[in-house]
Structure 1
């Protein structure tokens, strides 16, 4: 297949491209072609095509979607930065406008792609220490929930063109990078510990499982709908840090106080300090996906080598 991918140079996108480019032709939509080209190994370059694009603006790049079999839209501004009003707007616009322009490009294609795989996030549900969320749970009402609702609403419009749509609500992705990359250094220095009270839920997924889920959705035309991309056994922050300490043979004894994280991340600290317990019910039942890493300790052992 010929597959266009946005966010292809990001934490998840890089691994997806590497896996898909072995058997498929990949169109990498990127804001920096030279940087993108330098990221991927030489043996894959013959199966990669690079297109310069501006996510929040329509343009000639949209014509490059014509003739593709499908599109995977992973683009969005990172949420692990300090939030101020302008950056919150960037988080929102990069997802809403970025997805709107992808959908417009698909709908206007002379040779229409047959599917759109669109990222979303478990932030859709809001935060809670007590509730359990599945794919049928309603949306929350905080900032990230509103971002996810707007993001998904734009993606849903692709169905007007009779294009198959799959939305994955990503949990916190564990791999060589991302959230774990920020947690490991303090543990290495014997200064690791839970963030905030430690009771908040941490709904995670190993990057290999996330990539495999995306590939399944690409290659199986019977899959459509909205699914949670989270491992079946979420943990609390205390459990996460205890397990990480055991895997690294380090203590988990120095909690990071809430105010310190709020100083660092502003409003963005809410994501880490409040959390949510999310289960992949439809993912297991409708896709029939068997997680390679369903429990945390084997997942961390694979990553922290």
Structure 2
């Protein structure tokens, strides 16, 4: 199967492209900077210039013999800067316009994709969905707040492909852990200098997933013809921020003793961004992945952190189940 990966040069996308190539799949990646994408991904990937909203380059990548699939990961990094009105508009537009382009490209193709995997996030449930420790399953409704609304529109952006007979699955990602990027790229440096500690009071719930499992579960969705609808992409056991930082400190041989007050985070990031990111409390559970047979590669936080910090990574998809 040929797979088109939007956002293929990102933190998750690069790992997914590598796993697909290892399986012998043909891979196409639309990118704003094709030269950079080729340098990052290597010669085995078909790269096309794409502005993030035009369906025609996607339709060309989808064309060709045999079945194809789309994994839509495109979206501007929500943590790349303060949430000014202009940045909030870019965060939303980068996701919604890309999803609509996927749907339009599918409609333009002689053979619509067999499956579309649409990215989203557990931010869908709202920033304080687990303030009382509530466990969030996939049936929980959309919560309040900017990120929840972004996720709602992001998920809906590609839903028209279902009218073409395309199977569609939505991956609501938790915080993705992996070497060289994501949350750990921001947390590890202060811990190494004995300045680590939880954000806010540390009581907020953190739903996390190792990048190996984020990739492995995407491959599982591609493989399984009965997989459709929404799936929480997070490890079986969420932890509080305080517990996460203690485990990170243990993995690094450093204390977790210097909490960052919520008021300081509000000054640094802005009140809204702080409340909906580092102070958010979301205790999501992968109920559907568990029930339908996905086997986690790294379900334990200590093991996952060790794998991130020593650079070791089991090839994603090694434990997926094919239909």
- The equivalent residue for 2:279 is 273
Is 1:294 aligned to 2:295, yes or no?
A: no
CA distance in 2, matches of 1:187, 1:213: 30
Is 1:142 aligned to 2:139, yes or no?
A: no
- The equivalent residue for 2:75 is 76
Among 180, 197, 212, the residue aligned to 1:193: 197
CA distance in 1, matches of 2:158, 2:112: 15
CA distance in 2, matches of 1:60, 1:170: 27
- 1:75-131 deviation digits (Å, cap 9, x = unpaired): 001011311111111111111111011111011111221110110100111122212
Q: What is the CA distance between 1:155 and its match in structure 2?
A: 2.1
Residues 61, 134 of structure 1: CA spacing in aligned structure 2 closer, same or farther, 3 A cutoff? Answer: closer
CA distance in 1, matches of 2:192, 2:158: 41
Q: TM-score, normalised by structure 2?
A: 0.90
Secondary structure class of the residue paired with 1:119: strand
Among 259, 281, 285, the residue aligned to 2:263: 259
- The equivalent residue for 2:50 is 53
Q: What is the CA distance between 1:269 and its match in structure 2?
A: 1.5
Q: What is the CA distance between 1:230 and its match in structure 2?
A: 0.4
Two-structure CA RMSD over aligned residues (Å)? 1.3
- 1:237-291 deviation digits (Å, cap 9, x = unpaired): 00000110111110111111223322332232221112211011011102x1121
Among 63, 85, 89, the residue aligned to 1:66: 63
5 Å matches for 1:24-35? 24-35=25-36
Is 1:5 aligned to 2:2, yes or no?
A: no
Unmatched 5+ stretches in structure 2: 311-323
Length, aligned pairs only: 300
Q: What is the CA distance between 1:57 and its match in structure 2?
A: 3.7
5 Å matches for 1:102-113? 102-113=102-113
CA distance in 1, matches of 2:267, 2:100: 34
Secondary structure class of the residue paired with 1:51: strand
Residues 289, 142 of structure 1: CA spacing in aligned structure 2 closer, same or farther, 3 A cutoff? Answer: same
Q: What is the CA distance between 1:293 and its match in structure 2?
A: 1.5
Residues 150, 102 of structure 1: CA spacing in aligned structure 2 closer, same or farther, 3 A cutoff? Answer: same
Q: What is the CA distance between 1:166 and its match in structure 2?
A: 0.9
1:168 and 1:227 in contact (8 A); partners too: yes
Q: TM-score, normalised by structure 1?
A: 0.95
Q: What is the CA distance between 1:60 and its match in structure 2?
A: 4.5
Residues 63, 40 of structure 1: CA spacing in aligned structure 2 closer, same or farther, 3 A cutoff? Answer: closer
Unmatched 5+ stretches in structure 1: none
Q: What is the CA distance between 1:225 and its match in structure 2?
A: 1.5
CA distance in 1, matches of 2:88, 2:170: 22
